[in-house]
Structure 1
């Protein structure tokens, strides 16, 4: 283990050890490089994390070692880092950290955190989402360009139902679109709204987009992962580092940047310069808040006119009202035969 250092960050002294430990072997990036990256993009990263319960995706020995998700704050959380209590689908509670300073980001980086997974809620009310998060996930045979094409059509869908979205790269092949909300709806309602919007997108692009939960039914299309709006499902925050050989990051974009962008354009070496030049591309999300009334009316119309009701929840969730069987279609046919 390398010698520990005390770094002065935001007027706080933060202990960081083993700064020369290699985290990304293919490019030689070290733990120190990750720390410096978080400091460089700290204001943008904090925009998406502040006041939000956050799960830490940790790689204490870099991406070549073991990793895990830290959903509960460790006992040694400094008293200057706030936390908030959330409730898992099982009903069990947990306290998660709420990063509110660059010093808190550096403290998490010292634990090997690369990716921050904030809940779509604020600490003041952890039952009411204030962000709609739509995950466009390319399936085998599709790529980032397909997700970008779907995102543009999704922008039109959102506009038709009174909302504005902000796109970002996932850091991988996908695209995330965020919509700030008034915190007036439950997780169930927010998820239902995403399903309705996803079905509308699917109807417009049936050969390119799917809402099928079962992989065997998705084909070479972009999957709208509506379950990312289920309780305790989170998406990597803007500016988070992804655990791949290139050390790419989740990059906020303007809509007119989407077609020319590629996930590999944004990594811990290139993003600091972009951030210094253009700032946080999603800064104008602050102060915006939209409603779900029109999307929920769409959900009711889809049920009434087409019989399109609930879709399967993730396997760790309790059975929900109106949910179809959580049985893979091919397995269901096999069992029936």
Structure 2
């Protein structure tokens, strides 16, 4: 496949990756080539973890952080020092050729850091993962609106919404790169505990699954150095090839909306009639300080 001035050798296009739908590896590669202009602004400059499925979604998978030696020189890498003094050479996917190359390596789902290569310790995203205990998606929708009311309406924080393509929803707050991961995670945890205390029958921050019951789990653990999240518009390794899809908030009102509503089959029809709701997410980045002060006021009032 020729992309720009690069020739990328494509192998095993006919290998079945999603047997139920008869989607092949070639279909996956074609998807990422076609979606490149939309997905790249969301993943460029970020260290990337590959989740690879050489034999499709029913075969063995493996997580790969280190770029193999055989990866071409034109793919950008970022060497990151780990806590144990080893280093990991992460892929930085900044162009269509790199994205197609990763798809040819059977990377069905790229996962990305919440920080960029030039300020790895300072995230530009705070993320809340709303994880349901059952298949009742109406609970997840309610939890998302509840969290949005606190973030956006009370704390004046921009809140961006996305289906995960798996079970739940992600809510992402774009941040100016001023605070460490520990500070961001601490704030996200405080927000989650506050909402849990307000809605003890519906929300939980319990890490252990057997403590959650049928409540929505507010997961903020991804707000940490070297942790990753599914990239917007990434394909999930599930039947139907669902796609993690940014939404406008009013789309939660659709009765038939669920976390796997959008797939490699219908995402382009959507994008043909609607612009990417996250296209200006970078411009919306805010400082956390004012929101933190507001939150402490709200919290103190609630304790009186």
Q: Output the TM-score relative to the length of structure 2.
A: 0.92
State the match for 2:265 in structure 1.
269
Q: Which runs of 5+ in 1 are unaligned?
A: 1-6, 308-337
Distance 2:84 2:288 in 1: 26
Determine if contact 1:192/1:299 at 8 Å carries over to the other structure: no
Distance change in 2, residues 1:92/1:187 (3 Å) = farther
Tell me, yes or no, if structure 1 residue 174 matches structure 2 residue 180: no
Residue matched to 1:155: 148
* Stretch deviating more after TM superposition (259-268 or 288-297): 288-297
Residue 47 of structure 2 corresponds to residue 53 of structure 1: yes
Partner of 1:14: 8
Measure the CA separation in 2 of the matches of 1:295 and 1:111.
42
Q: Counterpart of 1:224 in 2: which secondary structure?
A: strand
Bigger drift between 285-294 and 97-106 goes to 285-294
Moved more, 44-53 or 74-83: 74-83
1:143 aligns with 2:139: no
Q: How much has 1:203 moved relative to structure 2?
A: 3.0
- Residues 305-337 of structure 1, C-alpha deviation per residue, up to 9 Å, x if partnerless? 999xxxxxxxxxxxxxxxxxxxxxxxxxxxxxx
| More moved, 142-151 vs 246-255 | 142-151
The answer to whether the 8 Å contact 2:36/2:99 transfers is yes
Aligned counterpart, 1:317:
none
Corresponding position: 1:101 with 2:100: no
Question: Aligned match of 2:177 in 176, 183, 197?
Answer: 183
Q: Deviations over 1:118-143 (max 9, x none)?
A: 1011111111111111111111x353
Go from structure 1 to structure 2 and tell me whether the alpha carbon gap of 1:156 and 1:100 turns closer, same or farther (over 3 Å shift).
Answer: same
Matches within 5 A, 1:8-87: 8-87=2-81
In the aligned structure 2, how far is the partner of 1:92 from the partner of 1:299?
A: 39
Per the TM alignment, residue 231 of structure 1 is displaced from its structure 2 partner at its CA by: 2.3
**2:274 match:** 278
Structure 2: state its 5+ residue gaps. Answer: none
> If the length of structure 1 is used for normalisation, what is the TM-score?
0.83
Distance 1:101 1:39, change over 3 A: same
Aligned length: 300
- Determine the structure 2 residue equivalent to 1:132: 126
Residue matched to 2:238: 244
